């Protein structure tokens, strides 16, 4: 297999159709009234929102803008509104700062210096708001996680990843940019560098330590059972760089699965409860 960038090219019209069909089918079968999702103004949530709107109509999609003081970014809010306007979504802005501060105050062990723990708390608080709306209004929560993030575990457990459906989860980050472009997302959003915005100045590629264009090809190679030596050779990378990505992929399996238990009885959740997945309601 030749790991050239074009291996990530897909038939974007076909991908759009498949995602729309999946979203529509799920919402219809669950008998929910529509979709709710967090809208950050970034590429992933903008794309998930736009595709949801194209699938079931913008009027049935609620985008929640959930900013907080520390990472407040005017441009992100404007971008989120731009997407909402273009695809006809309903939106609501809720400043999560008071909730965040209230929770921080009640945690005896809270440490302001620990930006990762604080950042994860923000993602989990957003999840609480999103699920409240889902519950209250009978909506399906649409996640925005992409395949690159899911593979390397670059997300908050029970935070941003918490959702009922994740229509972008089989598309690498660079592929999300392509589908976003295909469905007509504004160029400034498509090209905006990715950030989880858990703390000020956090940039995804900087933190991961590798450009998405390269990361996605490494992950594509791993997906296709390629050996790390071969991936490194083809991409002109040190083997240790590719091994690091592979180890990260493997070590993050705990974030992708049901919580592990130890098997005691006949049939067990996460092991051998193997039932068909039916569309759900809250």
Partner 1 sequence: MKEKFKIALAQISCRREDKKANLQKIEEYAKKAKKQNAELVVFPELSLTGYTVRDEIYELAEKIPGPSTSIIEKLAKEIGIHVIFGMPELSEKTEATVYNSAVLVGPEGFIGKYRKMYLPTHSVFEEKRYFRPGYEVGAFKTELGKIGLTICYDIFFPEVIRLTRLEGAKLIVCISASPAIRRTYFETLTTARAIENAAFLAYVNLVGLEDGLQFWGGSRLIGPNGNIIAKAEYDEENLVVGEIDYADIRPVEIFVPTLRDLRPEIFEKIKVKTETL
Nearer to partner 1 among residue 260 and residue 273 (C-beta) = 273
Residue number with CB closer to partner 1 (15 or 151):
15
Stretch that binds partner 1, among 30-38, 132-140, 177-185, 271-279 (CB under 8 A): 271-279
Q: What is the DSSP string of 35-69?
A: EEEE--SSHHHHHHHHHHHHHH-GGGEEEEE---G
Q: Which of 25, 101, 188, 223 binds partner 1 (CB under 8 A)?
A: 25
Question: Which residue among 109, 260, 264, 275 contacts partner 1 (CB under 8 A)?
Answer: 275
Binders of partner 1 among residues 34 to 93 (CB under 8 A) are none
Closer residue to partner 1 (CB): 26 or 87: 26
Residues forming beta bridges with residue 165, ordered by sequence position: 142
> Closest approach of Cβ 132 to partner 1, in Å?
26
**Is 269 one of the binding residues for partner 1 (CB under 8 A)?**
no
CA distances from 47 to 57, 88, 168, 184, 209 (A): 14, 13, 8, 10, 24
What count of other Cβ atoms lies within 10 Å of the Cβ of residue 39?
A: 28
Let me know: does 125 contact 100? Beta carbons within 8 Å. yes
Q: Please select the residue that binds partner 1; options are 7, 10, 12, 18, rule is CB under 8 A.
A: 18
How far is it, in rounded angstroms, from Cα 270 to Cα 259?
Answer: 8
- Shorter beta-carbon distance to partner 1: residue 112 or 274: 274
CB atoms within 10 A of CB 208: 17
Which residues in 83-118 are b (16+ Cβ under 10 Å) and which e? Answer: bbebbebebeeeebeebbeebeeeeeeeeeeeeeeb
Candidates 16-24, 70-78, 103-111, 121-129 — which segment interacts with partner 1 by CB under 8 A?
16-24
**273 in contact with partner 1 (CB under 8 A):** yes
| Binding residue count for partner 1, defined by CB under 8 A | 12
Considering only residues 187 through 246, tell me which ones interact with partner 1, judged by CB under 8 A. none
**Residue 278 binds partner 1, judged by CB under 8 A:** yes
> Which of 21, 211, 227, 254 forms a contact with partner 1 (CB under 8 A)?
21
Q: Which is nearer to partner 1, 29 or 251 (CB)?
A: 29
79, 142, 173 from 21: Cα distances, Å: 26, 14, 21
CB atoms within 10 A of CB 58: 20
Interacting residues of 277 by C-beta distance below 8 A, sequence separation 6+: none
Q: Which of 93, 253, 123 is nearest to 196 (CA)?
A: 123
Structure tokens at 269: 């959740």
Q: Measure Cα distances from 241 to 4, 142, 151 in Å.
A: 18, 33, 15
Closer residue to partner 1, CB minimum distance, 260 or 275: 275
18 or 124: CB nearest partner 1: 18
Q: Which stretch binds partner 1 (CB under 8 A): 22-30, 82-90, 108-116, 218-226?
A: 22-30
Please, what is the minimum distance in Å from the beta carbon of residue 144 to partner 1?
A: 17
Chain positions contacting partner 1, by CB under 8 A: 17-18, 21-22, 25-26, 273-278
């Amino acid at each position: 297999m030749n790991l050239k960038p074009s291996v990530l090219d897909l038939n974007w019209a076909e991908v759009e159709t498949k995602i729309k069909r999946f979203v529509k089918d799920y919402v219809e079968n669950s008998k929910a009234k529509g979709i709710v999702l967090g809208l950050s103004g970034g590429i992933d949530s903008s794309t998930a929102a736009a595709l949801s709107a194209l699938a079931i109509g913008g009027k049935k999609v609620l985008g929640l803008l959930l900013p907080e003081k520390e990472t407040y970014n005017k441009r992100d809010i404007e971008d989120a509104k731009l997407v909402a306007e273009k695809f006809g979504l309903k939106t609501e802005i809720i400043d999560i700062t008071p909730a965040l501060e209230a929770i921080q105050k009640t945690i005896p062990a809270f440490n302001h210096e620990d930006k990762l723990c604080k950042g994860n708390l923000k993602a989990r608080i957003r999840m609480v708001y999103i699920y409240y709306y889902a519950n209250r209004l009978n909506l399906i929560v649409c996640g925005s996680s992409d395949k690159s993030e899911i593979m390397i575990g670059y997300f908050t457990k029970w935070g941003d990843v918490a959702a009922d459906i994740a229509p972008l989860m089989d598309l690498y980050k660079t592929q999300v940019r392509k589908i976003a472009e295909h469905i007509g997302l504004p160029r400034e959003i498509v090209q905006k560098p990715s950030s989880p915005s858990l703390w000020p100045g956090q940039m995804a590629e900087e933190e991961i330590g590798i450009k998405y264009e390269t990361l996605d090809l490494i992950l594509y190679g791993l997906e296709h059972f390629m050996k790390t030596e071969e991936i490194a050779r083809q991409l002109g990378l040190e083997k240790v760089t590719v091994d690091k990505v592979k180890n990260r992929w493997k070590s993050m399996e705990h974030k992708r699965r049901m919580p592990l238990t130890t098997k005691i009885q006949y049939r067990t959740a996460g092991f051998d409860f193997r039932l068909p997945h039916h569309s759900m309601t809250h």
